[in-house]
């Protein structure tokens, strides 16, 4: 495989074929993220991509899922993306699920019919980073979209027949906006009604604007208990029709996997017990991005 630089993938894609189609992220301005700072966004040449598909045909026959890297493959022009997906279907017929990251800009560049076409060609799971449902926080972290746009684009993915996994970031509101961040994020998640929610706990990355703000005293990190309180309020404010709320990323202090709405009260009780010291939290040295 012709991998270049750092790559990331969702935890649920741990056993997937990783096909790098883009380099970096087309937005690459979020203040908390340092993943692709050293990469200039680019779409790899088709011959390189197709060579990697042939590699997977020979060596990845036991993997029936494929994830398209890097940051936001949805932004690839439709004709090229269709061409790549058709090659995957032709050369890797055992692949049952194709997943990719998408931001609101990339989704917005596709028509509803184009999104449906991607779904028919195998894209069945899209990951979208919401981070927060609060418009001021979204502006502060330079996410590039407000909550209304997040809701609109998330709903379009669902309407096209694809499953949607939305990522949120606990701790972005600091102490001053913690409650607001949790409640507004719950509001937006409820409006989108995704199939999956992945909650990560904020960890500062050296070299990012948010870390610089922290070192200058302009951003205050929450304590583990405050993070947990915020997560509880976020879950309490989230109403899903039939979704999974995950907070089992390596960054989280308390692993959670809850089916909503069925397990909401049970999960809130678990958080309450943890805040009372009756459930042990993950020590700081064991957390990771």
On average, the pLDDT of the chain sits at: 95
Give the full edge-to-edge strand order of the sheet including 163-170.
Answer: 17-20, 65-69, 97-101, 123-131, 163-170, 196-201, 243-246, 257-260
Domains observed in the chain: 11-278 (3.20.20.70)
Which regions of the chain are under pLDDT 50? none
d(CA 264, CA 241): 12
Q: Which two tokens stand for residue 199?
A: 């909650």
d(CA 110, CA 271): 40
pLDDT digits (tens, 9 = 90+) for 188-231: 999 999 999 999 999 999 999 999 999 999 999 999 999 999 99
Residue 248 is predicted with a pLDDT of 84
Residue 288 is predicted with a pLDDT of 87
Residue 285 is predicted with a pLDDT of 85
Q: Where are the alpha helices (DSSP H) in the chain?
A: 46-59, 78-91, 104-108, 112-120, 135-140, 147-159, 178-192, 209-215, 224-236, 264-275
Residue 36 is predicted with a pLDDT of 82
């Amino acid at each position: 495989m012709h991998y270049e630089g750092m790559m990331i993938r969702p935890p649920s894609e741990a056993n997937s074929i990783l096909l790098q189609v883009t380099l970096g992220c087309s937005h690459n301005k979020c203040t908390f993220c340092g993943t692709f700072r050293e990469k200039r966004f680019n779409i790899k040449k088709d011959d390189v991509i197709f060579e990697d598909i042939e590699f997977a045909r020979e060596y990845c026959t036991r993997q029936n899922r494929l994830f398209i890297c890097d940051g936001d493959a949805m932004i690839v022009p439709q004709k090229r993306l269709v061409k790549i997906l058709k090659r995957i279907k032709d050369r890797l017929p055992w692949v049952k699920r194709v997943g990719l990251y998408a931001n609101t800009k990339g989704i917005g560049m596709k028509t509803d019919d184009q999104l449906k076409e991607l779904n028919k060609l195998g894209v069945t799971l899209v990951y979208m980073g919401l981070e927060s449902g609060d418009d001021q926080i979204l502006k502060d972290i330079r996410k590039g979209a407000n909550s209304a746009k997040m809701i609109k684009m998330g709903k379009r993915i669902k309407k096209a027949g694809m499953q949607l996994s939305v990522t949120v970031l606990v701790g972005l509101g600091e102490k001053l906006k913690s409650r607001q961040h949790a409640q507004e994020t719950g509001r937006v998640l409820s409006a989108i009604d995704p199939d999956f929610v992945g909650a990560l706990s904020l960890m500062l990355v050296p070299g990012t604007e948010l870390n610089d703000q922290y070192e200058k005293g302009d951003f205050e990190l929450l304590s583990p208990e405050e993070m947990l309180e915020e997560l509880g309020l976020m879950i309490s404010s989230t109403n899903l029709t039939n979704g999974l709320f995950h907070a089992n990323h390596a960054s989280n202090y308390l692993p959670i996997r809850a089916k909503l709405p069925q397990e909401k009260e049970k999960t809130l009780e678990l958080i309450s017990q943890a805040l009372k010291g009756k459930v042990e939290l993950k020590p700081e040295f064991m957390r990771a991005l």
